[in-house]
Amino acid sequence: MSKKTPESKKTNQTPQKDPPLSKRHAEILELARKQGFVSVEFLANRFSVTPQTVRRDINRLVKQELLQRYHGGAGLPTTVENLAYTDRKVLHRRGKKSLARLLARHIPDNASLFIDIGTTAEECAKALSSHKGLRIVTNNLNVAFILKDRKDFEIMVAGGTMRGRDMGLTGETTLEYFDSFRVDYGILTLSGIDESGHLLDFDIHEAHISRTIIANATRTLLAADHSKFGRTAMARIGHITQVDALFTDKNPNEREQKLLHEAGVALHIADMKKE
């Protein structure tokens, strides 16, 4: 009596995407950003987990090219590439929401404004959704989607090359479109502000658009959570002196406050307890 053997089934397996970062992963990245290097022992004590758990966390972050492994720990790999969009949505989410609400209170109804690419820009769009009669120029399809139900808003979306990872539009067409407007407010987001006050981004195309926003807005409002201070990136947008006001979630250190004061930038800090 012969046995029936199950036929082998061929399955088309597609590569699985890495899941979004956990809260601990996000905090490890933030510690690495601030300190430059974090040891396994330090992280194990900080999070009350075993060294083996920390090593698994580091391996996961190294695999995603968010950290670089060093002897006894890990650090940030380079200043060339930003974190993935899904990971940036997790990082400092509460701070971004708070500073966005504060910024929105400084924009009147019936104003015209630019909103650019990024998770902070999208929080600003959400915070502005209760305004009236806004005219918004954006290269962020997520922003357009967030505000799509506001019938009294005029949403003007730039053309350009779409990036699937964050639904942003960039390129010469985008630049030309932005350059054809003169608006009341430019909401500017970025990747970092270095110790000299230079405004920086990881993407040269985004940096070009940011310069156009500064050049064509009567007032430039910088929306940046505390992690952007002291962070470096390759593409230069401009200098802090070109900004009218900074909206952030934590008090900058003494050196950074002096830099802002000397540049004549109004500093607005969100009250996290009230948000």
Q: Which CATH class is domain 86-269?
A: alpha beta
SS3 content of the chain, % helix, strand, coil (to 5): 40, 20, 40
Print the SS3 string covering 152-209. Answer: CCEEEECCCEEECCCCEEECHHHHHHHHCCCEEEEEECCCEECCCCEEEECCHHHHHH
Reported as type and span, the H/E element at residue 119 is: helix 119-127
C-beta atoms surrounding 182 within 10 Å: 10
Distance CA(163)–CA(160), nearest Å, equals 10
Distance CA(213)–CA(220), nearest Å, equals 8
pLDDT in tens, the chain (275 residues): 444 444 444 445 554 556 678 889 989 988 887 766 788 999 999 999 999 999 999 999 988 878 888 778 887 665 444 555 555 544 567 889 999 999 999 999 999 999 999 899 999 999 999 999 999 999 999 999 999 999 999 999 999 999 888 899 999 999 999 999 999 999 999 988 998 999 999 888 999 999 999 999 999 999 999 888 888 888 999 999 999 999 999 999 999 999 999 999 999 999 866 65
Cβ-based neighbours of 168, under 8 Å, separated by 6 or more = 117, 118, 139, 140, 141, 162, 206
Predicted confidence (pLDDT) per residue in 147-178, tens digit = 999 999 999 999 999 988 889 999 999 999 99
Q: Taking CA 110 as the corner, what is the angle to CA 106 and CA 114, rounded to the nearest 5 degrees? A: 70
Q: What is the CATH number of domain 23-77?
A: 1.10.10.10
Q: What is the DSSP string of 36-103?
A: SEEEHHHHHHHHT--HHHHHHHHHHHHHTTSSEEETTEEE---SSSPPPHHHHHHTTHHHHHHHHHHH
Domain ranges of the chain: 23-77, 86-269
Q: Strand, coil or helix: what is 229?
A: strand
Predicted TM-score (pTM) of the model is 0.71
Gyration radius of the chain over CA positions: 21
Distance CA(28)–CA(67), nearest Å, equals 9
